[in-house]
Amino acid sequence: MKDYKLLKYVIVIFLAMVITSCEDGFLEEKPTAFLDPNALLVDTDGAEIYLFGAYDAIQHTMSYGGQGQEGIQFLWGITASDLGVAPRWDQRRFIYLHQQTPGTPQLEKLWKNMYSSVNRVNSTIDRIGKMTADQIESEDKSKFIAEAKYLRSMLYFGLVVAWENIPLRKNETTELDNLDIVASPPEEVYNFIVEDLQFAIATLPVEQGSGRATKGAAQALLGKVYLQMAGFPLNQTDKLVEARDLLKEVMDSGVYNLLPNYRDIFTLDNEQSSEMIFAIGMEGAGLSNGGNVGSLFGPRGSRPNGGGFPSVLFNLNFVNTYDEDGDWRFKNNVSKHNANRVGPDEAYESETTPGQANNPLAWRPWKWHAAKPNAYTGDTPFDYPYIRYADVLLMYAEALNELGELTQEDLDITVNRLRNRARRLPDALPNILLGSQEDNDAAILSERAKELCFEGWRRTDLTRRGIEFYRSSIFADQKGVNAGNPQPQFEDHEIRWPIPQVELNLNSLLEQNPGY
CA distances from 357 to 303, 336, 338, 360, 423 (A): 20, 5, 9, 7, 21
**Where is average pLDDT lowest: 28-42, 165-179, 258-272?**
28-42
- The 8-class DSSP code of residue 285 comes to S
pLDDT confidence of residue 6: 42
Q: What is the mean pLDDT of residues 473-494?
A: 83
pLDDT digits (tens, 9 = 90+) for 102-140: 999 999 999 999 999 999 999 999 999 999 999 999 999
Identify the pLDDT of residue 479: 65
The SS3 assignment for 385 reads strand
Cα–Cα distance, 102 to 497 (Å, whole number): 8
- Position 506 pLDDT exceeds 50: yes
CA distance 398 to 393: 9
Query: What value does the mean pLDDT take over residues 301-307?
Result: 79
Q: Output the average pLDDT for the chain.
A: 87
Alpha-carbon span 211 to 202, nearest angstrom? 19
Instruction: Give the pLDDT score at 338.
Output: 80
Query: What is the percentage of the chain residues whose pLDDT exceeds 70?
Result: 88
Which of 108-122, 165-179, 255-269, 315-329 is least confident? 165-179
Residues 263-297 have pLDDT tens digits of 999 988 899 999 999 999 888 777 777 787 777 77
Give the containing element (helix H, strand E) for 44.
Answer: helix 44-62
Of 480 and 1, the structure prediction assigns the larger pLDDT to 480
β-pairing, 276-280 vs 364-365, is unpaired
* Weakest mean pLDDT among 64-78, 102-116, 177-191, 409-423: 64-78
470: Cβ contacts below 8 Å, ≥ 6 apart: 462, 463, 490, 495
Which pLDDT does position 167 carry in this prediction?
97
Cβ neighbours of residue 221 closer than 8 Å, sequence gap 6 or more: 150, 153, 154, 157, 197, 278, 387
**46 contacts 62 by C-beta, under 8 angstroms:** no
User: What per-residue confidence (pLDDT) applies to 35?
Assistant: 57
Residue 12 pLDDT exceeds 80: no
Q: What is the pLDDT of residue 355?
A: 58
Tens digit of each residue's pLDDT (9 = 90 or more) over 69-114: 678 998 999 888 999 888 888 888 899 999 999 999 999 999 999 9
In sequence order, the β-bridge partners of residue 365 are 334
pLDDT category at 9 given cuts 50, 70, 90 is very low
Enumerate the β-bridge partners of residue 283.
289
Domains of the chain, first to last: 4-204+499-506 (1.25.40.390), 293-382 (no CATH)
Least trusted range by pLDDT, from 28-42, 216-230, 470-484: 28-42
Residue 177 clears pLDDT 90, i.e. is over it: no
Burial of 262 (0-12, 13-18, 19+ CB in 10 A): buried
Looking at residue 299, what is its pLDDT?
A: 80
Q: With a cut of 90, say whether residue 352 has pLDDT above it.
A: no
DSSP string, 398-426: HHHHHHT---HHHHHHTHHHHHHHHB-ST
Which of 228-232, 379-383, 435-439 is predicted with the least confidence, judged by mean pLDDT? 379-383
